[in-house]
C-alpha cells in the first residue's frame, strides 16, 4: 500500500505547488507610476484661453456664451495645460511634426523620471503597451519608444489606439493577461493623448465641448508579476472588469471622432453620453460587486431591494448597495464635474470621496486616459492611502466602455509626485471661477444687439 501512497502523495503535492506557483506568477503588482506635468509656457490660463477662442472666426456671441457656460460648469481651473501649437496660435495648420513634438514631451519626460527613480534600465522591460487614441502613425508610437530607449529585440510591444478615456485600464488588463503566460516579467504602460492635431476649429456645439474639457497630460506605469519584487510594489491588482456597449448604436455614436458640416475635424459628444455611461457603469458593477464586496452586504442589499420592490418603494434612502463595505477610496475618471458627481450620487459617496477626482479635474483638467493616475496621485500626496486599503478605479470612455478595477494598497503611501508644487493649496478653502468673474459680462442681454468685432 505504501508503495502506491508515496508516489500519489508526491503527484498531489507537485500539482498543488504548481497551482500555487502559477497563481502567484499571475499577480499584477504596481511598482511605480509617473504623471506628466507640462512646463509653464504650456499653461492655459484665463487670458490664453480667451485668445484661443477669439482666434476662431467661426464663433459668434451665442457660441462665446455657450463656451463660457460650459467651462464654468466643467469644474476645470485656470492652471491646466494645452498643446504647444494651440498656445502658439497654430491650431489651424497642424503637422505631424507638431504631433511628434507633443507626444515626445508627454511620453519621454515621465519615462525618463520613472527609469531614474526606480533605477530600472529600459533594457529590463519585457512588455511595452502604449495607448494614444487619436494618433496612430507608422511606425507606431510603441516603436518610437523602443527606438528612443534602445529596448531589447524580444520586448513584447502593443500599440493601442481609439480606446478613449478608459484606455489605461485596457492596457493594464492586457498586461495582466500576458502575465498569465509569462513569469517574472516587467511591463511598462504609457497612457496619454494627442490633442494638438485634433483641436476643433468649427462651431458645432457638441464638438466644441472637447476644447473646453480636454487638456494635455499622461502617465507611465511600471507593473510586474515577479513575486521577488513584491516588497517594492505599492499596490496589487485584485480584479478588473471591462464592459463594452459598442453593439448599441447610440452608445457607439455618443462619443465619436468626425468632421462637422463645414469639414472641421473634431470629437463629438452627444447628450446620450450620460445615459450610455450610466448603463455601462451599472452593467460593469453587476460583475464587479460580487468580486469585491462581502457576502453579508450583497445579501443585505438583495433582501432590502426585494422588500422595497414588493411594497412599491423606489429611491428609499439606504436601499442602495454600500460600496464602502469593500472599498476605501474611489478613484473616479475626472471627465467633468457632471461625471464625477453623477458617479458619486449613484454610489452614495460624500464630498471626501469625490475630493481627489474634483481636485485633479480642477488642477489638470480632463487628461483622457491619464486622468485616473492624477487622481491617485492626489490621494497619495494627501496621505490618504494606507496599507490594506482598497482603491476602486472607475473609467469611462468612447466605444462606449466602462472599465473598473480594484487595487490593494501594500504600504502607506505619501509621495507628493506631480502634485509637489501645489498640494498645499488643495482643496481650496473657497472655489472661485476666474472665467466667470472676468468674462461674465458676455451674458449681458444688451450685447445681443451689438456686433462684436475683433
What residues are annotated to the active site?
A: 165, 244, 329, 333, 362, 366
Contact 321, 286 (CB under 8 A): no
Cell 502604449 locates to 130
| C-alpha cell recorded at residue 163 | 480606446
The CA distance from 187 to 178, in Å, is 10
Q: Is 90 exposed, middle or buried (0-12, 13-18, 19+ CB in 10 A)?
A: middle
Contact 192, 314 (CB under 8 A): no
| C-alpha cell recorded at residue 196 | 494638438
Contact 378, 359 (CB under 8 A): yes
| C-alpha cell recorded at residue 46 | 484665463
Contact 392, 329 (CB under 8 A): yes
HEC letters along 252-282? HHCEEEEECCCCCEEEEECCCHHHHHHHHHH
Which parts of 38-140 are beta strand (E)? 127-132
SS3 411: coil
Which parts of 231-360 are beta strand (E)? 235-244, 255-259, 265-269, 329-332
Contact 238, 408 (CB under 8 A): yes
Length of the chain: 454
Amino acid at each position: 500500500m505504501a508503495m502506491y501512497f508515496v508516489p500519489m502523495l508526491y503527484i498531489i503535492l507537485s500539482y498543488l505547488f504548481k497551482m500555487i506557483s502559477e497563481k502567484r506568477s499571475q499577480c499584477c503588482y504596481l511598482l511605480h507610476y509617473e504623471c506628466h506635468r507640462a512646463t509653464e509656457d504650456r499653461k492655459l490660463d484665463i487670458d490664453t484661453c480667451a485668445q484661443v477662442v477669439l482666434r476662431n472666426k467661426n464663433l459668434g456671441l451665442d457660441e462665446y456664451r455657450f463656451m463660457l457656460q460650459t467651462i464654468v460648469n466643467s469644474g476645470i481651473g485656470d492652471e491646466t495645460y494645452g498643446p504647444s501649437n494651440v498656445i502658439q496660435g497654430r491650431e489651424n495648420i497642424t503637422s505631424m511634426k507638431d504631433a511628434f513634438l507633443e507626444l515626445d514631451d508627454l511620453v519621454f519626460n515621465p519615462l525618463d523620471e520613472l527609469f531614474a527613480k526606480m533605477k530600472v534600465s529600459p533594457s529590463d522591460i519585457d512588455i511595452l503597451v502604449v495607448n494614444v487614441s487619436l494618433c496612430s502613425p507608422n511606425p507606431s508610437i510603441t516603436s518610437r519608444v523602443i527606438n528612443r530607449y534602445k529596448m531589447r529585440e524580444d520586448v513584447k510591444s502593443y500599440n493601442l489606439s481609439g480606446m478613449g478615456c478608459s484606455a489605461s485600464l485596457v492596457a493594464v488588463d492586457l498586461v495582466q493577461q500576458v502575465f498569465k503566460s509569462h513569469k517574472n516579467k516587467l511591463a511598462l504602460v504609457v497612457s496619454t493623448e494627442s490633442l494638438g492635431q485634433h483641436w476643433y476649429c468649427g462651431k458645432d456645439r457638441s464638438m466644441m465641448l472637447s476644447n473646453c474639457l480636454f487638456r494635455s497630460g499622461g502617465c507611465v506605469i511600471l507593473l510586474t508579476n515577479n513575486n521577488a519584487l513584491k516588497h517594492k510594489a505599492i499596490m496589487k491588482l485584485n480584479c478588473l472588469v471591462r464592459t463594452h456597449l459598442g453593439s448599441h448604436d447610440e452608445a457607439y455614436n455618443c462619443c465619436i471622432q468626425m468632421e462637422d458640416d463645414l469639414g472641421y475635424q473634431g470629437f463629438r459628444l452627444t447628450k446620450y453620453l450620460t445615459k450610455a455611461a450610466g448603463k455601462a457603469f451599472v452593467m460593469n458593477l453587476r460583475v464587479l460587486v460580487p468580486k469585491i464586496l462581502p457576502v453579508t452586504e450583497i445579501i443585505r442589499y438583495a433582501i432590502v431591494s426585494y422588500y422595497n420592490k414588493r411594497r412599491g418603494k423606489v429611491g428609499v434612502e439606504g436601499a442602495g448597495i454600500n460600496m464602502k463595505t469593500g472599498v476605501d477610496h474611489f478613484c473616479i475618471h475626472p471627465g467633468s464635474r457632471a461625471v464625477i458627481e453623477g458617479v458619486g450620487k449613484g454610489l452614495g459617496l460624500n464630498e471626501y470621496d469625490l475630493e481627489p477626482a474634483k481636485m485633479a479635474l480642477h488642477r489638470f483638467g480632463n487628461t483622457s486616459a491619464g486622468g485616473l493616475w492624477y487622481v491617485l496621485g492626489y490621494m497619495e500626496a494627501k496621505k490618504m492611502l494606507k496599507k490594506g486599503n482598497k482603491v476602486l478605479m472607475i473609467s469611462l470612455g468612447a466605444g462606449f466602455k466602462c472599465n473598473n478595477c480594484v487595487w490593494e494598497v501594500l504600504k502607506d503611501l505619501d509621495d507628493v509626485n506631480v502634485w509637489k508644487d501645489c498640494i498645499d493649496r488643495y482643496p481650496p478653502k473657497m472655489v472661485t471661477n476666474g472665467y466667470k468673474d472676468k468674462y461674465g459680462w458676455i451674458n449681458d442681454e444688451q450685447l445681443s444687439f451689438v456686433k462684436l468685432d475683433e
